[in-house]
């Protein structure tokens, strides 16, 4: 799976009441076939759902949800297909993970079932399972009476930050967290467009962002403004004709990729695969002097926390006597952190505890002797970026007692690494 490009998550509803598929894949055989087809069309991940989350949908008992999804999860996972399970139930998540699911996609962000975070934390540690934290305000309300935001972007961003922090506090590895602004979940169409246009504010949290606009009402309402003759497959306003929204979905996929989305969740994989390839070629053809994509917001953060002169005794070096005797190393670390939330709320959780940072860096230097201080610097950058609030890290490793046959004051190596939306660094 190429983390450099926007991933495609193909939707596979194994429900009889899906607004989009209308129960077409409600049997295991048809669902398994559909999952294979989605991968053939370009899906990187297949997202299996056994309970509809559309407004007004009837709740489904966990036993029934499991009956619907587990044969499909097992079959696709056995073929080494990356499977995600769309569920708000911890028991379903646990069974799905045991059956081979690599992602848990919880539209409630872990707020619906109090056991969910414990389940995904254990799976994160033991299996590397990733947790997709969705934003909502409760079971979707058909009347959208909970769409009363003063500032939808700020409120969704802050809510996602809290839920991601809760997941990490429960034990989920920070690199396993993905966030989803929850388009259509207690949000008007106007609010949905505002979130898309402000995607960089969500990305500034430092987590990969999944966008799920596929075939949603906000697209139907947008297409109502298009002349009837331009409609591709009948009246877009009809839920029975959700396929009429696939072209608009593909456009949103391309624009989301341009804005830095980690992934797009879509029903029509083929259309979005084509759109993303066109966007990729367009971006690749631009002159190097003109960036194709705005640099990650994290790299633009001007706020800094600096820790300098951290002295550590360790056994790194090319020569055998360096490994045997050991020597001093001095570490300078400068991390980019958005300090506005911490300052506004006087909250330690919104910044970096420099004592914990110092301890983590010291422990990383002391373990596993290596030949090069370049390797040590790279290790320390990864450690610094493991702190959720850190956007980028500048690490300098000084070796003042290096065995150089000349008079010198210091020798050092500096690396600068930035958190990428994939959860890796560059």
One of 130, 216, 258, 362 is an active-site residue; which one? 216
Return the CATH number of 297-418, one of 3.20.20.70, 1.10.3720.10, 3.30.1130.10, 3.40.50.720. Answer: 3.30.1130.10
One of 157, 203, 215, 265 is an active-site residue; which one? 265
Tokens for 92?
């379903």
pLDDT at residue 1, as a whole number: 39
Which residues in the chain land under pLDDT 70? Answer: 1-4, 17-23, 54-57, 141-144, 228-242, 288-302, 419-426
Whole-number Å distance between alpha carbons of 324 and 232: 73
How far does CA 389 lie from the centroid of its chain? 15
pLDDT at residue 143, as a whole number: 63
Q: Yes or no: say if 156 and 135 are a contact pair by the CB < 8 Å rule.
A: yes
Whole-number Å distance between alpha carbons of 393 and 305: 10
pLDDT at residue 391, as a whole number: 84
C-alpha to C-alpha distances, 360 to 134, 333, 381, 387, 393, nearest whole angstrom: 30, 12, 11, 10, 14
pTM exceeding 0.75 = no
Residue ranges covered by each domain of the chain:
7-285, 297-418
Q: Yes or no: say if 51 and 59 are a contact pair by the CB < 8 Å rule.
A: yes
**Residue 216 a catalytic site member:** yes
Q: How many CA atoms lie within 13 A of 401 on its CB side?
A: 15
pLDDT at residue 54, as a whole number: 65
Whole-number Å distance between alpha carbons of 335 and 307: 9
Element (H, E) at 289: none
**Structural Rg of the chain based on CA atoms:** 24
* CATH number attached to the domain at 7-285: 3.20.20.20
For the chain, how long is the longest CA-to-CA vector? 81
pLDDT tens, residue by residue, 212-227: 999 988 898 888 877 7
**Strand 210-211 to strand 327-337: parallel, antiparallel, or no bridges (unpaired)?**
unpaired
**Residue 323 a catalytic site member:** no
353-388 b/e (C-beta count within 10 Å ≥ 16 → b): eeeebeebbbebbeeeebeebeebbbbbbbbbbbbb
pLDDT at residue 226, as a whole number: 75
Q: How many CB atoms lie within 10 A of CB 78?
A: 11
pLDDT at residue 325, as a whole number: 94
pLDDT at residue 331, as a whole number: 96
pLDDT at residue 298, as a whole number: 41
């Amino acid at each position: 799976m190429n983390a450099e490009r926007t991933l495609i998550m193909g939707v596979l509803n194994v429900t009889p009441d899906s607004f989009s598929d209308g129960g077409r894949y409600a049997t295991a055989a048809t669902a398994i076939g559909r999952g294979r087809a989605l991968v053939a069309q370009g899906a990187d991940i297949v997202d299996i759902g056994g309970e509809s989350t559309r407004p007004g949908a009837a709740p489904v008992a966990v036993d029934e949800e499991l009956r619907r999804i587990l044969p499909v999860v097992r079959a696709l996972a056995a073929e080494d297909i990356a499977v995600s399970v769309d569920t708000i139930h911890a028991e379903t998540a646990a069974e799905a993970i045991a059956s081979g699911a690599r992602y848990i996609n919880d539209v409630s962000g872990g707020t619906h079932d109090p056991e969910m975070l414990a389940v995904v934390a254990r799976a994160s540690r033991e299996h590397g399972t990733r947790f997709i934290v969705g934003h909502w305000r409760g079971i979707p309300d058909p009347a959208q009476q909970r769409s009363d935001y003063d500032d939808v972007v700020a409120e969704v961003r802050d809510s996602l930050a809290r839920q991601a922090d809760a997941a990490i506090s429960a034990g989920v590895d920070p690199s396993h967290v993905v966030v989803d602004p929850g388009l259509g979940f207690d949000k008007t169409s106007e609010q949905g467009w505002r979130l898309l246009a402000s995607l960089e504010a969500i990305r500034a949290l430092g987590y990969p962002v999944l966008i799920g606009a596929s075939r949603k009402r906000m697209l139907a309402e947008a297409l109502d403004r298009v002349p009837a003759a331009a409609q591709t497959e009948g009246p877009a306003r009809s839920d029975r004709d959700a396929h009429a929204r696939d072209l608009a979905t593909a456009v949103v996929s391309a624009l989301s990729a341009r804005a830095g989305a980690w992934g797009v969740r879509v029903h029509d994989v083929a259309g979005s695969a084509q759109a993303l390839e066109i966007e990729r070629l367009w971006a690749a053809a631009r002159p190097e002097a003109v960036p194709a994509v705005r640099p990650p917001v994290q790299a633009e953060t001007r706020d800094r926390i600096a820790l300098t002169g951290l002295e550590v005794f360790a056994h790194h070096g090319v020569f055998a006597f360096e490994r045997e005797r050991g020597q001093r190393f001095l570490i300078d670390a400068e991390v980019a952190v958005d300090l506005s939330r911490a300052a506004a709320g006087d909250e330690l959780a919104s910044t970096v505890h420099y004592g914990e940072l110092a301890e983590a860096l010291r422990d990383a230097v002391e373990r596993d002797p290596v030949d090069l201080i370049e390797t040590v610097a790279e290790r320390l950058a990864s450690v610094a970026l493991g702190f959720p609030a850190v956007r980028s890290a500048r690490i300098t490793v000084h070796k003042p007692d290096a065995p150089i046959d000349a008079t010198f004051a210091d020798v050092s190596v500096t690396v600068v690494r930035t958190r990428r939306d994939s959860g890796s660094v560059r």
